[in-house]
């Protein structure tokens, strides 16, 4: 029994390391945006022209996509975590989601959208369409798709790790870790404490929605992407 516990403890740490690797993957953009590219272009990110911004998003998406692909491959090969399957993505079916769960998903989603509308003075997606134009809008939203993939993996791997340790499937551990990593990181990337604290709350909400959707990875990703951009 002791050997089994030690094995599960070690496995939990290794899976948690995948979550932290996903966060580190997101952080690679910081090196691009605040060090390498400003050094090459001779100007800060706020001063980039259209094609410099597009190139930044393309490079970032390639890096993030590579990180996400590697983490999914590693999880499958090393720990048997087949997060992506043809049927149900290796998670429970949406058909098993109860009515009260749908109610909480709708309520939580509505709160997130209302908060975003208040922060942006309108729907984020519409405001960015107006301010950026079609080309920048298109590439930025492709970029958002890859960002969503990585922060979803932060959440999922952390949830699996903590459930491996504590055997409790009702606590949104992944959301807590997401808030303390990706959420708090916005303090540094946005230079605003309030945005970072809001990110912590959003991380907890996203982790709760993942559990309410019975860990259906595909539809959790779709929902989190929509909530992220609306």
CB 108 within 8 A of CB 40: no
91 falls within a domain: no
* The two structure tokens encoding residue 155: 């959440």
Is position 89 within any domain? no
- Kindly state whether residue 90 falls inside one of the protein's structural domains: no
87 found inside a domain: no
Is 86 part of any domain? no
Give the pLDDT of residue 1. 47
DSSP letter for each residue of the chain: -HHHHHHHHHHHHHHHHHHHHHHHHHHHHHHIIIIIHHHHHTS-GGG--HHHHHHHHHHHHHHHHHHHHHHHHHHHHHH------TTGGGS--GGG--HHHHHHHHHHHHHHHHHHHHHHTS-HHHHHHHHHHHHHHHHHHHHHHHHHHHHHHHHHHHHHHHHHHH--SSS-HHHHHHIIIIIHHHHHHH--HHHHHHHHHHHHHHHHHHHHTTT-HHHHHHHHHHHHH-
Judge whether 3 lies within some domain: no
Of 53, 183, 198, the residue nearest 131 (C-alpha): 53
Is 143 a domain residue? yes
The pLDDT assigned to 113 comes to 96
pLDDT by residue for the chain (230 residues), tens digit each? 444 555 888 889 999 999 999 999 999 999 999 899 999 999 998 899 999 999 999 999 999 999 999 999 999 999 889 887 644 444 456 778 999 999 999 999 999 999 999 989 999 999 999 999 999 999 999 999 999 999 999 999 999 999 999 988 899 999 999 999 998 888 877 777 888 899 999 999 999 999 999 999 999 999 999 999 98
Structural domain includes residue 51: yes
Domain, as residue range, for 203: 9-81+96-229
Q: Domain total for the chain? A: 1
């Amino acid at each position: 029994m002791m050997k089994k516990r030690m094995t599960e403890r070690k496995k939990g740490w290794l899976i948690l390391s995948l979550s932290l690797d996903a966060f580190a993957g997101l952080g690679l953009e910081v090196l691009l945006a605040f060090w390498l590219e400003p050094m090459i272009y001779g100007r800060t990110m706020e001063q980039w022209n259209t094609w410099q911004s597009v190139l930044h998003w393309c490079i970032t998406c390639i890096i993030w996509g590579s990180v996400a692909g590697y983490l999914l491959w590693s999880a499958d090969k090393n720990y048997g975590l087949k997060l992506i399957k043809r049927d149900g993505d290796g998670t429970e079916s949406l058909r098993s989601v109860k009515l009260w769960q749908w109610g909480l998903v709708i309520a939580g989603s509505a709160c997130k959208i209302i908060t975003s509308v208040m922060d942006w003075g309108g729907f984020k997606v519409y405001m960015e369409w107006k301010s950026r134009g079609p080309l920048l809008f298109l590439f930025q939203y492709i970029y958002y798709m890859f960002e969503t993939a990585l922060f979803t993996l932060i959440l999922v791997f952390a949830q699996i790790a903590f459930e491996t340790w504590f055997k409790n499937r009702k606590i949104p551990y992944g959301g807590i870790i997401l808030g303390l990593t990706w959420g708090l990181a916005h303090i540094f990337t946005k230079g605003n404490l309030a945005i970072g604290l809001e990110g912590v709350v959003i991380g907890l909400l996203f982790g709760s929605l993942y559990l309410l959707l019975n860990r259906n990875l595909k539809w959790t990703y779709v929902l989190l992407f929509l909530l992220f951009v609306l």
